[in-house]
Structure 1
């Protein structure tokens, strides 16, 4: 396997992988993907604007990519993708390690967003030493939306919602927790009451 800094010669390979990334993601989410030509144009724009993009090659075949952007002096992983037939060969890890080497020349941290439904991605990043920090996405629906297919989760007793996915992989206990939490809030439970319940349970376990 070889990892190269993306160049004009392999731009078409990157466009194809970028398109496959979004088609696969939308399938997992249960959403309709956009037009392939739109994804290909986006990929070309990112290449031309100077984003850091590495391509993994297996022989003559493009196996995967990672794309980094820079915002306000910080580097972000925007996408990482390995074609299904090349998974299980540590290509994703190699792409991340190459990206980290590049970022170390300019900064001492690499950031990314992961949707809470994407447990495979969360497990992958945690295995590589990444930890969760402080981002929460908020939304206000200004018109009626299709945001009914959601799970209820919480952070320090605050109620949050995450989209349901077609490809979810929650455990039975995780699903049970979300269902109980939804009922708790629907029946008038408050943040204060939730924290009291959790603290009492934790104290009981620790005793």
Structure 2
């Protein structure tokens, strides 16, 4: 498995993974969607033009997964991390995440910030194995039109729809 840095020329070949990532994210909100390759390619180009490094794990000419590192001043966020189903549980996410941590260290920081859907238990479990256990902030918004939250989540004394 090789780790490569993505350039704008590679955006079309990475787009299917980004499109699948978006479909997966929407599924956490109980929204069914189809992959949008054009939007995914545009998103990749926007990240690259903003100076966010993107790395992909590649094996035998195909992408197994990718990570987008959102860099703002000295802080690094894992904006996206995604591994195709058939490559999961093979160390791909760890390799990608370690690259994000390397980017953070190059900026003088010793942590990467992660936004995670509360019901993305796989990602939460993954982060815990890497020592990420501090809840830093929560994001609160109004429901989308037509959105019907499926459950609630308690944070301290507060209950939020989710």
TM-score higher than 0.5: yes
State the alpha-carbon separation in 1 of the partners of residues 5 and 40 from structure 2: 20
Matching of residues 150-165 of structure 1 within 5 Å: 150-162=150-162
Q: Does the 8 Å contact 2:76/2:103 carry over to 1?
A: no
Q: Does the 8 Å contact 1:26/1:32 carry over to 2?
A: yes
Give the structure 1 partner of residue 13 of structure 2: 13
Q: Does the 8 Å contact 1:55/1:65 carry over to 2?
A: yes
Q: Does the 8 Å contact 2:57/2:66 carry over to 1?
A: yes
Give the structure 1 partner of residue 130 of structure 2: 128
Residue 9 of structure 1 and its aligned partner are, at CA, apart by: 4.5
Give the structure 1 partner of residue 22 of structure 2: 22
Q: Does the 8 Å contact 2:8/2:45 carry over to 1?
A: no
State the alpha-carbon separation in 1 of the partners of residues 8 and 82 from structure 2: 19
State the alpha-carbon separation in 1 of the partners of residues 28 and 12 from structure 2: 25
Give the structure 2 partner of residue 64 of structure 1: 65
User: Structure 1: which 5+ runs fail to align?
Assistant: 163-207
Q: Does 1:3 align with 2:3?
A: yes
Matching of residues 35-184 of structure 1 within 5 Å: 35-108=36-109, 109-140=111-142, 145-162=145-162
Decide which structure has the larger Cα Rg and report it: 1
